[in-house]
């Protein structure tokens, strides 16, 4: 038989794509329920669910309804939730005192979840933006965000969350030195087993808009921005320095936020450091997919899966996504 090698390829890569079973066998990355963290919004009141208009299928839930949804998440195998508060405007102040009120909304939600739902982790955000009248993540004086003074408040906030039963505190404020200070505060108060997930590479992104609507900080922030403390989207090497600092200060896990526009950052960090690295599919990313799906332009489930799988491919240890319940049902 005369084989013309110049005409036909010796290696046919398509053989490995020819059927579902062989594609599954050769798949280099896989998304599982264990990779998912479900961010949720809690509000005051009872038996009330309020849709977030800019985030399709996402609701602000009162504590009683949240407990039921957390049970559902647990039963689906989702390992952890991340709770964010919707704080009433009338208790927001310049100094954010409500953030370290032992009986605040977050603390009450954590206590209720921990008393009624076993087998799921609870992550609490550590930042001041839901609690202050200006919507910034730190204290403000003469138009400047105060770093060290903010850290003192963040330590108090982390402590009341730990006392309520939080498993992981997640400082998202991007103040310099806050991880070390929070670690010391926790350890000195007997909470050495509470972990820290640092938002180490959090960018000053335009993808956060729907989240700010959800927690009610958008109107407070107004036309201001967070560029003096969140990272410049143009920078990549700076993220390595940020992560290195937080690891040295005692972070157990680190976060890249947003996710999909920063795949290179996720990949760089996971290659450089031996630390669990999470990625946050933020509200703007989620809302774009769901809105396009709602208009019939895309298959939302397929795009959601592809987006999350790309984060696994980049090296993410886990993914925060508002679609966690849907994805968990889909992948079983």
Catalytic (active-site) positions: 202, 257
Q: Which of 197, 84, 89, 83 is nearest to 135 (CA)?
A: 89
Pull the structure tokens for residue 11.
Answer: 């290696």
Q: Say if CB 61 and CB 43 are below 8 A apart.
A: yes
In whole angstroms, give the CA distance from residue 309 to residue 32: 10
Q: Say if CB 173 and CB 137 are below 8 A apart.
A: yes
What residues form DSSP beta bridges with 59? 51
Q: Is the dihedral of CA 40, 274, 205, 138 positive or negative?
A: positive
Could you tell me how many helices (H) and strands (E) the chain has, helices first?
12, 12
DSSP of 230-276: SBPTT-SHHHHHHHHHHHHHT-SEEEEESSGGGHHHHHHHHHH--S-
DSSP of 271-328: HH--S-EEEE--HHHHHHHHHHHHTTSS-HHHHHHHHHHHHHHHT-SEEE-TTHHHHH
What residues form DSSP beta bridges with 168? 123, 195
Interhelix angle 178-188/147-164, rounded to 10 degrees, is 40
Q: Work out the angle at residue 239's Cα, subtended by the Cα atoms of residues 173 and 247, and round it to the nearest 5 degrees.
A: 70
Of how many residues is the chain composed? Answer: 332
Q: Omega of the bond prior to 11 within 30 degrees of 0, cis? A: no
H or E element in which residue 187 lies: helix 178-188
In whole angstroms, give the CA distance from residue 165 to residue 114: 7
């Amino acid at each position: 038989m005369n084989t013309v090698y110049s005409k036909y390829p010796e290696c046919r890569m398509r053989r490995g794509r020819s059927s579902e079973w062989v594609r599954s066998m050769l798949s280099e990355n896989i998304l599982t329920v264990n990779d998912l963290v479900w961010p949720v919004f809690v509000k005051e009141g009872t038996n009330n669910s309020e849709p977030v208009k800019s985030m399709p299928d996402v609701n602000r839930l009162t504590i009683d309804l949240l407990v039921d949804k957390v049970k559902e998440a647990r039963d689906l195998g989702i390992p952890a939730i991340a709770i964010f508060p919707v704080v009433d405007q009338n208790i927001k102040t310049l100094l954010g005192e409500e953030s370290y009120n032992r009986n605040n909304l977050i603390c009450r939600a954590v206590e209720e979840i921990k008393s009624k739902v076993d087998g799921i982790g609870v992550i609490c955000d550590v930042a001041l933006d839901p609690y202050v009248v200006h919507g910034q993540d730190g204290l403000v004086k003469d138009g400047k965000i105060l770093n060290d003074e903010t850290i003192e408040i963040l330590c108090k906030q982390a402590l009341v969350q730990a006392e309520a039963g939080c498993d992981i505190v997640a400082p998202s404020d991007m103040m310099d030195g806050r991880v070390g200070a929070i670690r010391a505060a926790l350890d000195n108060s007997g909470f050495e087993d509470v972990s820290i997930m640092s938002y180490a590479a959090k960018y000053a992104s335009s993808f956060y808009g729907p989240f700010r609507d959800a927690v009610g900080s958008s109107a407070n922030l107004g036309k201001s921005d967070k560029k003096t403390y969140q990272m410049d989207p143009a920078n990549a090497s700076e993220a390595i320095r940020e992560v290195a600092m937080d690891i040295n200060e005692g972070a157990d896990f680190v976060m890249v936020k947003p996710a999909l526009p920063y795949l290179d950052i996720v990949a760089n960090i996971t290659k450089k450091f031996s630390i669990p690295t999470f990625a946050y599919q933020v509200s703007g990313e989620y809302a774009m997919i769901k809105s396009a799906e709602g208009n019939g332009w895309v298959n939302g489930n397929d795009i959601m899966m592809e987006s999350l799988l790309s984060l696994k491919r980049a090296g993410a240890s886990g993914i925060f996504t508002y679609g966690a319940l849907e994805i968990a049902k889909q992948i079983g």
